[in-house]
Structure formats: structure tokens, C-alpha cells
């Protein structure tokens, strides 16, 4: 690989992994896909920089929630993007560009065997891209779907500790929790349960 194809600028990694990214469609056709191994925490930097010099890259992220410890004692729920296939980055090589270990300062290796770099099927890239665009790895989208499934007054069946009992949704205080009224021992009882433990009747 010539010097002209090498990424000469090392981008700043701080904030790159934690910044929320947008899912973008990936066209898997017309290129030869290989799998690169990036330095931990540098997957997005490697993908962005290689894309900037002509490669096609696929490094999908998951949006996860976390609660950091703050010095003032307050706790706030935050979101961050993490690579789904860490530490791997899938790289599409167009005609005239070949990925090598020296293509990026944070690239550790390219998966290969005695016959050369291992090829990644375009069908895999396409299927994974569809899941990414559908929000399968986005906690915000999953929470919204769960909340939209239930409404006040819905008849539901419980799982978990109340397995098999029927109830009626009386409220949705948060995206993950639901207030339900369960008839137990001949009298209505109120309980707050996880929406994962509910299914519509």
C-alpha cells in the first residue's frame, strides 16, 4: 500500500467513543470486505478516518444508558455509544485501495490466514446494517417500543414472580415500569412491575 493511502493524521479519541452517533445506511456492494482489529476505544476513529481516505467502513454502535458517579452526589442517567463488534471494524476495499496494518496508527491487525485477508460476506454487512438502522441496538428505541406497547386499562398477563396471573395496567410511571392491579385472594392488589414481565392478553 502506498504512502498516499496512509492516514497521516491521528485524530483525537477523547469524546469520539462517548459521543452519540447516528446510524447510517451502508452499501455492501462493489467492494471487498475485510475485518480489521482496532485498538480498544479507537474503533470509531479508525472507521471515520479510513472512510475519509476512500475506504468504505462499517462500525455499528449500540446506544446504552449508564449512571455516572458525580462528585456533588447527584446522579444523572446518560447515554453513550459503544461499538457493537468491538474491537472489530469492517472495511470495504474499493478497487485500488488495500487495507494494511499500517493504514492507520490505531489499527492493530487485519484478520487473515495463509491465503490472505479473510473476506466478510456482503450479506452479513447488509443484515447487520438493517438491524442497526432498525434501532435494535439503541436503548432509546427499545424503551420507546416497550412503552408504546402498553396503555392504561390494558389487560395483561404477568411473568416472573407473578407468573400466570392476569392484571390491568393502571399507570406507566416510567418507561421500564408499570403499575398494575392484580386480583389476589379475592381482593385487588396494586403492584409495580417491570414492563419485560408483561404481555398483552
Work out the angle at residue 5's Cα, subtended by the Cα atoms of residues 106 and 123, and round it to the nearest 5 degrees: 75
pLDDT one-digit tens code per residue, 164-176: 888 999 988 876 7
Enter the pTM of the model: 0.63
**Of 143, 158, 186, at which residue does a domain stop?**
143
State whether 154 and 71 are in the same domain. no
Work out how many domains the chain is built from and give that number. 2
State whether 23 and 97 are in the same domain. yes
DSSP classification of residue 27: -
Query: Poorest-confidence range of 15-19, 83-87, 190-194?
Result: 15-19
State whether 117 and 164 are in the same domain. no
Q: What is the distance in angstroms between the CA of the first residue and the CA of the last residue of the chain? A: 61
Tell me the pLDDT of the chain averaged across its residues.
82
Return the higher-pLDDT residue of 46 and 22: 46
Give the range of the structural domain holding residue 187, as residue numbers without chain letter: 150-200
State whether 169 and 92 are in the same domain. no
CB 47 within 8 Å of CB 85 = no
State whether 88 and 167 are in the same domain. no
State whether 56 and 10 are in the same domain. yes
State whether 132 and 157 are in the same domain. no
Cell numbers placing 42? 479507537
CATH number assigned to the domain comprising residue 168: 2.30.30.30
| Three-class DSSP category at 124 | helix
Amino acid at each position: 500500500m502506498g504512502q498516499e493511502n496512509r492516514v497521516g493524521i491521528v485524530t483525537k479519541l477523547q469524546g469520539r467513543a462517548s459521543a452519540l452517533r447516528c446510524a447510517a445506511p451502508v452499501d455492501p456492494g462493489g467492494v471487498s470486505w475485510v475485518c480489521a482489529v482496532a485498538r480498544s476505544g479507537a474503533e470509531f476513529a479508525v472507521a471515520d478516518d479510513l472512510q475519509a481516505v476512500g475506504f468504505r467502513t462499517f462500525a455499528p454502535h449500540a446506544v446504552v444508558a449508564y449512571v455516572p458517579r458525580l462528585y456533588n452526589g447527584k446522579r444523572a442517567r446518560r447515554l453513550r455509544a459503544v461499538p457493537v463488534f468491538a474491537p472489530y471494524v469492517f472495511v470495504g476495499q474499493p478497487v485500488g485501495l488495500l487495507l494494511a496494518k499500517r493504514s492507520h496508527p490505531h489499527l492493530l491487525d487485519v484478520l487473515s490466514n495463509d491465503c490472505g485477508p479473510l473476506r466478510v460476506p456482503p450479506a452479513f454487512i447488509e443484515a447487520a446494517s438493517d438491524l442497526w438502522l432498525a434501532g435494535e441496538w439503541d436503548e432509546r428505541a427499545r424503551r420507546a417500543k416497550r412503552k408504546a406497547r402498553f396503555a392504561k386499562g390494558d389487560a395483561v398477563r404477568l411473568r416472573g414472580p407473578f407468573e400466570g396471573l392476569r392484571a390491568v395496567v393502571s399507570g406507566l410511571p416510567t418507561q421500564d415500569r408499570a403499575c398494575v392491579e392484580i386480583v389476589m385472594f379475592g381482593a385487588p392488589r396494586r403492584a409495580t412491575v417491570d414492563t419485560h414481565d408483561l404481555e398483552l392478553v
